[in-house]
Amino acid sequence: MAVLWACGAMQAQDMRFGVKAGFFASSYDGHRLHRDDRGRNDLYDDYYYLGYDSNASNIGFYAGGLLEFDLVDDFKLQPELTFSVVPGDDGYLAVNVPVLVKYSFFKNFYAQAGPALNYALDGDDDQFSPSFDFGASYDLFENFYTELRVDVGLGGYLGSNVNAGVGYRF
């Protein structure tokens, strides 16, 4: 029922397309992400099997697109498709698909939250990683905005990310 209501609301309201890009700090499970056919990872195996943590962290960047639908009052729905790159030997390339609900507390300021599915394109195992995203955005001008967001991994390779970026809506 809620899905039908949301679809009807989206058709009746405005839709905007946008682009976005930025940087993020990422934590992830390097052992889980990069394994060979036998489930081994030379970079992390010694630490992993001795009971140490196999988490890795690095700085990366992302770019992608979004759709923004006006729902009711101060609510908006914002599905996105972004590509993330964490460079390095233990880094990764991923596709991220968050679906955020945005609420405007006051003019030009939005709180945003929603689920996301992340897929590591170059991961060897456990490539899907769901997360819950939350953050805020601020419209600097009519079409130009900045955002700060946290992605909390709920399983798979992703630990958490802190994203900071800018975007433009057409």
Residues 55 and 83: beta-carbon distance below 8 Å:
no
pLDDT tens sequence across 37-65: 555 555 544 544 544 445 667 899 999 99
Q: Report the pLDDT value the prediction gives residue 2, as an integer from 0 to 100.
A: 47
d(CA 36, CA 53): 19
Q: Which of 84, 85, 100, 169 is nearest to 136 (CA)?
A: 100
- C-alpha 33, offset from chain centre: 17
Per-residue pLDDT at 80: 98
CATH number of the domain bearing residue 33:
2.40.160.20
CA angle 119, 93, 54 (to 5 degrees): 80
**CA dihedral over 32, 37, 43, 45, signed as positive or negative:** positive
pLDDT in tens, the chain (170 residues): 444 445 554 454 689 999 999 999 987 766 555 555 555 555 544 544 544 445 667 899 999 999 999 999 999 999 999 999 988 766 788 999 999 999 999 999 999 999 999 998 876 655 788 999 999 999 999 999 999 999 998 987 777 899 999 999 99
Given this model, what pLDDT does residue 134 score?
A: 98
β-bridge partners, 134: 113, 150
Q: Provide the number of structural domains found in the chain.
A: 1
Q: Which domain does 85 fall in, by range?
A: 2-169
How many Cβ atoms are within 10 Å of 29's Cβ, its own excluded?
A: 20
Inter-residue contact 138 to 112 (CB < 8 Å): no
pLDDT of residue 160: 85
